[in-house]
Structure 1
Amino acid sequence: MATSEPMDPEAAFAQLARIKLGETDLDGVLGTIAGLARQAVPGADEVSVTLVRDRKAQTAASTGDLALYLDEVQYALGSGPCLHAAATAGAMVLSRIATETRWPQWTARASELGAGSSLSIGLPVQERTTGALNVYSTAPEAFDDSAVQVAESFAAYAAVALANAHLYDTTTTLAEQMRAAMEHRAVIEQAKGIIMAERRCTADEAFRILAGLSQDTNRKLRDVAAALVAQASRRS
């Protein structure tokens, strides 16, 4: 059910702005967005966040099972208000789901589950990723013009927070990949040095020997190098 005392939208916006990306991950940001929207949008019973990447949609965060199921029915059908909002970056208001003529398969199932009205706002996240903030109510006509305005303003703040989190997550992943690559390179160089010392060969010849061992044993080059370095350490 909707909260009896909705959060002041300005307080919700302020909380979004205070998210510290170094202290949470993308999932944490998504969960915060859904939770704050449920408190801030008048009439909201449940909220979810849909992300669409490469035409594949998923519910990245939800405040309850009803929102999650209403999203997943749309994904299975390939159409619905949240997918339309994500594709158009617009707002989709269904005041009375029971009498809505668009997406008849989804509205029929949503009505059976007790959904009375819904509101979806598009979230432009990143070049290849779009999304939607989905607000559901068990009551018909739950979202008046004021509620829609609050949801649109909230979505604008949320899109910025989400885009920043997505960028931070991507940058952090890239940094970790670069760090791992440098570590692998260092191990390979160590292994080459060991081979050069033992066989009195050049660096190129040592690398060819490593590559040959990798191919013969069907193991990754870095794993062969790491095993050689570990073996040399034990001998010393």
Structure 2
Amino acid sequence: MEELLRDLSRVTLGGRELGEVLGEITGIAARAVPGAEAVSTTMVRGDKAFTAAFSGQMALDADELQYEEDSGPCLDAGRGGVVLRVDDMRTEQRWPAYVARVRRTGVRSSLSVPLPYQGSSIGALNVYSTEPAAFATPESLAAGLGVAETIAVAVANADAHAQLAEQARNMRIAMESRAVIEQAKGVLMAQRHVDPEQAFEILREASQRYNRKLRDIAAGIVAGVQNAR
């Protein structure tokens, strides 16, 4: 467990694509969760679930069967925020359609741990094995919980970065709009001999009259002057 936590602490979150980060964390889980043969990270966005990263084709195959059936432990864990363990697919009674199909992939047991995020769950870490009861030990659960928390932190970091980027974009657009509006006011002041407030009022009235954004009206005025030169 100490080695797992050390490896997880070394994962760089900043300046990387979320998919790349999740791929690295999922790979660590595949090596470090006791009993793991294949691991995946399921993300749930609204009604849609998808595999964001996986280590081992068996994990991807098992995930996709659940998406097709819209039923299975990874979906219930990801949507309901509960840990779900299957000790033996040969005797498992839950999710009958999925279980009947996943047996053919070789999966015998699995562990799905929800990804906690702002008081809810946004997906699940899924661990698969061809052996029965591969995750029946406290060590497997503890490792799974540790990985799931790290994934949740990575997602939160990516979301925060995206929000900052969107805020920066909106600020840039606002500054550009303000600049073109000021230019248009200058044109109107020179052409019509009005003061700044009157120039802005002309722009505002034109915006209402033609049902166009004030910035677009201003840009048209500035472009007209530039084209006339």
TM-score of the alignment, normalized to the shorter chain, above 0.5 = yes
Match of 2:179 among 177, 186, 190: 186
Task: Give the partner amino acid of 2:143.
Answer: V
Change (3 A) 1:150 1:20: closer
Shift, 1:105, TM fit: 0.7
Aligned to 1:164: 157
1:154-173 alpha-carbon deviations (Å, 9 max, x no partner): 22233233323322322332
Shift, 1:151, TM fit: 1.3
Is 1:112–2:104 an aligned residue pair?
yes
CA distance in 2, matches of 1:144, 1:108: 22
Change (3 A) 1:24 1:209: same
1:108-162 alpha-carbon deviations (Å, 9 max, x no partner): 1111222222111011123676221111223333324122221122222332333
Aligned residue for 1:27, secondary structure, equals helix
CA distance in 2, matches of 1:40, 1:83: 23
Aligned residue for 2:10, secondary structure, equals helix
Aligned to 1:43: 35
Map 1:24-35 → 2, pairs under 5 A = 24-35=16-27
Match of 2:147 among 142, 154, 159: 154
Contact 1:46 1:64 in 2 (8 A): yes
Is 1:9–2:1 an aligned residue pair?
no
Change (3 A) 1:229 1:120: same
Change (3 A) 1:205 1:72: same
Aligned to 2:201: 204
Is 1:143–2:135 an aligned residue pair?
yes
CA distance in 2, matches of 1:211, 1:188: 15
Aligned to 1:125: 117
CA distance in 1, matches of 2:29, 2:146: 11
Change (3 A) 1:162 1:29: same
Change (3 A) 1:50 1:228: farther
CA distance in 2, matches of 1:30, 1:77: 25
Identity of aligned residues (%): 42
Residue segments in structure 1 that go unaligned for 5+ positions in a row: 1-6
Aligned residue for 2:90, secondary structure, equals helix
CA distance in 1, matches of 2:151, 2:134: 22
Task: Give the partner amino acid of 1:209.
Answer: A
Change (3 A) 1:81 1:208: same
Contact 2:37 2:129 in 1 (8 A): yes
Task: Give the partner amino acid of 2:204.
Answer: F
1:44-74 alpha-carbon deviations (Å, 9 max, x no partner): 2322212223333222222344423322332
Is 1:176–2:169 an aligned residue pair?
yes
Task: Give the partner amino acid of 1:179.
Answer: R
Task: Give the partner amino acid of 1:62.
Answer: F
Aligned residue for 2:75, secondary structure, equals helix
Map 1:81-96 → 2, pairs under 5 A = 81-96=73-88
Change (3 A) 1:177 1:98: farther
Contact 1:29 1:165 in 2 (8 A): no
Contact 1:190 1:229 in 2 (8 A): yes
Is 1:57–2:49 an aligned residue pair?
yes
Aligned residue for 1:47, secondary structure, equals strand
Contact 2:54 2:60 in 1 (8 A): yes
